[in-house]
Amino acid sequence: MNLPNKLTISRIILVPLICAAMAIPTEAKYVSCVLFILAAITDYADGHLARSRGLITDFGKFLDPIADKLLVICPMIILIQLGRYPAWMCAVTVARELTVSGFRLLAALKDRVIAADKLGKYKTTFQMLSVISMLLIGSGSFLFIPLILNWISLLLCVISGGMYLFINRDILATENTQTTPEEKDP
């Protein structure tokens, strides 16, 4: 278990703590925001360390996107409950993430590991910025900031998901395991 993979696991461990702090109706929102930012930094750090030190593993390629999805989607769900995030936006995000994860599982069955691409990384960055803005800006004249970040992250979510499916469409190719009558020995 290398350091980048440990950072990925730490991000997953932080998710329930972030959500618990978000659910407390006090100034704990700042605690949740600090924990979220810390977790977001681990996302950057694990990728940077893995690439710069040659520590890229299949485990990391597989688990890192899952950690990112948990880090973004779980707080979004809490934000829906708090009335700060539209449920339909979360539904689109969850649908995209489940579809991409399904493709990754199909790829794994074919002994392929597909790492996240640049557009997916931008999507994750904007989702994280969106969550941070919603945690910090509850009401007031700065509400346009979360709104803009929400729309940018949703647009990147849909576009990157569509491109991911298109680029990796060969994963859906089925193997013909049945023989035709012409293939049978006479």
Q: Say whether pLDDT at 167 is over 60.
A: yes
Q: How big is the CA angle at 7 (ends 62 and 91), to the nearest 5 degrees? A: 55
Radius of gyration, CA atoms only, the chain? 19
Q: Is the pLDDT of residue 122 over 60?
A: yes
- Count the residues in the chain: 186
SS3 2: coil
In whole numbers, what is the pLDDT of the chain averaged over residues? 87
Is the distance from CB of 42 to CB of 8 less than 8 angstroms?
A: yes
Instruction: Supply the DSSP string of 119-153, one letter for each residue.
Output: HHHHHHHHHHHHHHHHHH--SSTTTHHHHHHHHHH
- Give pLDDT tens digits for 147-166: 999 999 999 999 999 999 99
pTM: 0.85
Domains of the chain, start order: 3-172 (1.20.120.1760)
